[in-house]
Chain A
Amino acid sequence: MGEVIVVTSGKGGVGKTTTTANLGTGLASAGQKVVLVDTDIGLRNLDVVMGLENRIVYDIVDVTSGNCRLRQALIKDKRFENLYLLPAAQTKDKTAVSPEQMKVLSDELRTDFDYAIIDCPAGIEQGFKNAIAGADRAVVVTTPEMSAVRDADRIIGLLEASELSNPRLIINRIRPLMVKHGDMMDMADILDILAIELLGVVPEDESIIVSTNKGEPAVLDRGSKAGEAYRRITRRIRGEQVALMNLDIPDGLMNKFKKLLGLH
């Protein structure tokens, strides 16, 4: 029996789709049978991030409304044959699917796959309610910005109210240099405020843009720092204990001088 994991955030643009693509690809590369589900109806993007945009025939609304069978709508990944995508519909809106239909779909996915990773749309309306309806656990993505953390707090409250307790947090796009200069909240600050369990930290990394340009998730790129972070997160999802990535920057000359003077 597989597990359905929803990736959510509240705020848009913090990296839900990138996280979904990387977790799914990471799990598939570890030999798991995985399906990625894009529930952002009307604004689909997971297909593009995965590099599968040219292969879409049917979508999630076709499946939930009975136009086609699940198997017909699933798109096989280019790289892994145990990885599939169920794309969102682009020409409909979020009301085209109901939470009840999502529960039925999730049950079907749970029997066919080891992991179903659901990419949730931004916001707290119907699309969010659909995305979490059939999930067994939730991953909340935030960045170290006030607005993203505030929205994450709201989402955590809503998840707990809908009995998806113990969501785990990914802090995305951390800039170690800004943290070091005291201009960006660090992991401890955010965990202190949100008070939930950490799943991982991901550094800001330009290779994410390159990998999205190519449609190849960074988790497969051995030279990418964000990719390394996602590889570690993938192993944690599977229950392994993995150390957090070290994002510290070594002390510069100025700091060494300050320490020498006892000012730090």
Chain B
Amino acid sequence: MSLLEFINRMLGKENTSSKNIAKERLRLVLVHDRASISPQMLNKLKEDLIRVISNYMDIDESCMEVNLSQDDREVALVASIPITRMKRDYSVRS
């Protein structure tokens, strides 16, 4: 423990306590762990996306790409969905 950490702790500042470091690291690790989802689930997600988006526009399903991208700090869902035509009457659809 460095002197600064020690002083911070004496003053009751918990941010430097090792449990918070553990919690933060664990949260990130679990995002990565949980993000390693099965191809079946990704396919289902893709189908659901197509269904929802098709209410508003026509998309090119064959060129659609849906993937999870991971780096050190975050996990993101990256989707590339080419639009072939916008629907004019989207507002009246339920």
* A residues in contact (CB < 8 Å) with B: 145-146, 149-150, 153-154, 157, 179, 181-186, 189, 193, 254, 258, 263-264
Contacts and interface: CB of A to CB of B under 8 A. Distances in A.
A193 B19 contact: no
Nearest to B29: A150
B22 A193 contact: no
Given A146-B25, A263-B12, A264-B12, A182 B30 contact: no
A157 B19 CA distance: 24
B87 interface: no
Chain B interface size, under 10 / 10 to 19 / 20 to 34 / 35 or more? 10 to 19
B26 A154 contact: no
A193 B11 contact: no
Nearest to A149: B26
A146 B24 CA distance: 10
Identify the interface centre among B11, B22, B33, B34: most chain A CB within 10 Å of its CB.
B22
Main secondary structure of the interface of B (DSSP, over half): helix
Given A153-B34, A157-B34, A189-B19, A182 B27 contact: no
A258 B8 CA distance: 13
Nearest to A157: B34
Nearest to B14: A182
B30 A150 contact: yes
Given A186-B19, A193-B27, 16 more contacts: A145-B22, A146-B22, A146-B25, A149-B26, A150-B30, A153-B33, A179-B19, A182-B14, A182-B18, A183-B17, A184-B19, A185-B23, A193-B30, A258-B11, A263-B11, A263-B12
Interface of B: 9-12, 14, 17-20, 22-23, 25-27, 29-30, 33-34
A182 B34 contact: no
B19 to A, nearest CB: 5
B23 A189 contact: yes
Contacts of B19: 179, 182-186, 189
A157 B33 CA distance: 10
B40 to A, nearest CB: 11
A146 to B, nearest CB: 5
Given A258-B12, A263-B11, A263-B12, A185 B30 contact: no
